[in-house]
Chains A and B, each alone.
Chain A
Amino acid sequence: MKRIFALLLCFLMIFAVVSCSKDENEEENGGDKGITTSQKSSVSFYVNYKSVKIELGADAKAVISALGTAKSSLSMGNCGGLGTLTKYVYDSLEIYVLASGSTETVDQITLLDDAVQTPEKVSVGSAKDAVISACGNGYSKMTDTSITYTSGSKNLKFTLRDGTVTGIDYLTVS
């Protein structure tokens, strides 16, 4: 009989040990993690706008609060009730915020005009050469229409047309 109890206890212990193998937060998010790459970049993944530092992955509540009222905003839920994406539009940039549970993070920043520069002093309207000069050769991808710098799941993408920057986006890819 003792052996049976011991066997039962063993199973319960296995169950208990296995139940500690992942943290609670990971459970709630289904273990979804960003893609990691070995590529390192020297560029920064933030911009300063209206004296507010807006960084990819940062707590969005603090950023949105510091920026004041947006010109407009639009929220859309994900299928299956898995989070919400909200776009906040300001004069010179858009911020996309991903909400999951009680967490809200800056997921994407799009610069709309030359009133905002990257920390490397590149803005919409800069030349392709100016991008490479300012950000270096450590890009993860370069085509005729874009240059992308990557660090882990964070990306800085310069969209080009005829050798000129027409769009700047900070993107999280998970």
Chain B
Amino acid sequence: MKKRILITLAAILVICLLLAFLQTLVIPKYADDKTKEGSLVSEYYAEAGGHDVLFVGDCEIYESFVPAVLWEKYGISSYVRGSPQQLVWQSYYLLEEMLEYETPNAVVFNVFSLKYGEPQSEPYNRMTLDGMRWSSSKIDAINASMTDEESFIEYVFPILRFHSRITQLTSQDFKYAFGSPKVSHSGYLMQTGVDPQTDFSKGRTELDYEISDNAWKYLDMMRALCEENGIELILVKAPTNTMKYWWHDEYEEQISEYAEENRLSYYNFIPLAGEIGIDWSTDTYDKGAHLNVYGAEKLTEYFGRILSEDFGIEDRRTDASLSEAWDVRLESYYKERNG
């Protein structure tokens, strides 16, 4: 009898291990150049703690602000927790999770995603949510983010969602089954290419320009969370503005009004691009949709001055252990930047 039970338990264990292994094989690896943004969220844990400034938001945040430059020029220790089409409720829960690891002086949120009031797309949800460690924040983030076609159980057991990839596995699925390569520099995703912006015509019409109650709700929650923790919440809009990602005047009016009503600092860098020194013929890698590293460095240097002078974020370069950690990060940053 005991032998039978042991054999049955062993068989169940083997099956579980087999399924776990299959799961590691079939889940997306985000290891190629086109999809590597999917690895950003999970990279935070290796550097969690000790930051003065945390950034959250969509692609505009992880392509615009360079923590290595903030440290090098101003001694500000920072991390960018961005992800593609990161929606405001995802930014909120990512921030909530990060505050379990650290309490920064300031949180910077890119406002572009406020145009979305509902869950949008499962692939983007996956790129943000799958990289989070399990916590109440992750559970809440999943529940807030799921589209009608998604189910919670598929986040718990991704094999239920991605099993059909078993017939489409590539060498990368085996190579990165137990971990993808590091893609960012403290959350900043470097792009060194140059593809000038030549089209400056107004972006396409949207169905509705009114920021939804749901989006406002999570921005309110983010503001309250920051207040409770004595953190300065700073709103920004990256300087990029193209037909695909157009910042309409109607959005600007609503955000400006919100910032004023709630006494928040809001920086729209679109009209400041000239003052910052951004040259759209050299400082973008995709026709103006996002900054490349040269544009991001200019913007970061400009914003670093604001953080340092207007918000009093301290220069911590005299902190030996922090300096040591950043020396390593800077070396890695310049190694990739300068090829």
Q: Which residues of A contact B (CB under 8 A)?
A: 1, 3-4, 7-8, 11, 15, 18-19, 22, 24, 26-27, 29-33, 35, 72, 74, 76-82, 85, 87, 94, 96, 108, 110, 141, 148, 155, 157, 159, 167, 169, 171, 173
- B204 with A19: CB separation less than 8 A: no
12 new A-B contacts, CB < 8 A, other than A4-B7, A31-B150, A82-B121, are: A7-B15, A19-B164, A74-B243, A74-B287, A76-B286, A79-B84, A81-B32, A85-B244, A87-B243, A110-B205, A148-B207, A167-B205
14 residue pairs A–B, Cβ–Cβ below 8 Å: A11-B15, A15-B163, A29-B123, A31-B147, A31-B150, A74-B287, A77-B289, A80-B84, A80-B127, A82-B84, A82-B121, A82-B123, A157-B205, A169-B204
- B242 with A32: CB separation less than 8 A: no
Cα–Cα distance between A157 and B204 once the two chains are bound (Å)? 12
Cα–Cα distance between A87 and B203 once the two chains are bound (Å)? 10
A76 contacts which chain B residues (CB < 8 A)? 242-244, 286-287, 289
Q: Which residues of B contact A (CB under 8 A)?
A: 7-8, 11-12, 15, 19, 22, 32-35, 37-38, 58-59, 84-85, 118, 121-124, 126-127, 147-150, 159-160, 162-166, 199, 204-208, 242-244, 286-287, 289
- A18 with B287: CB separation less than 8 A: no
A173 contacts which chain B residues (CB < 8 A)? 207
A171 contacts which chain B residues (CB < 8 A)? 205-207
Give the nearest-CB partner of B126 in chain A: A30
- B205 with A169: CB separation less than 8 A: yes
**Contact status of A33 and B160, CB under 8 A, knowing A4-B11, A148-B207, A171-B207:** no
Give the nearest-CB partner of B58 in chain A: A79
Cα–Cα distance between A27 and B163 once the two chains are bound (Å)? 10
Whole-angstrom distance from the CB of A114 to the nearest CB of chain B?
17
Contact of B207 (CB < 8 Å), options: A8, A26, A31, A155 = A155
- A82 with B207: CB separation less than 8 A: no
**Contact status of A19 and B205, CB under 8 A, knowing A80-B127, A81-B35:** no
**Contact status of A87 and B205, CB under 8 A, knowing A7-B8, A30-B122, A32-B123:** no
Cα–Cα distance between A108 and B123 once the two chains are bound (Å)? 22
- A80 with B34: CB separation less than 8 A: yes
Cα–Cα distance between A108 and B204 once the two chains are bound (Å)? 9
**Contact status of A32 and B15, CB under 8 A, knowing A74-B287, A80-B34, A110-B205:** no
**Contact status of A31 and B122, CB under 8 A, knowing A79-B84, A80-B35, A80-B127:** yes
Whole-angstrom distance from the CB of A54 to the nearest CB of chain B?
15
Cα–Cα distance between A150 and B259 once the two chains are bound (Å)? 33
Whole-angstrom distance from the CB of A112 to the nearest CB of chain B?
11
Whole-angstrom distance from the CB of B108 to the nearest CB of chain A?
19
Cα–Cα distance between A30 and B147 once the two chains are bound (Å)? 10
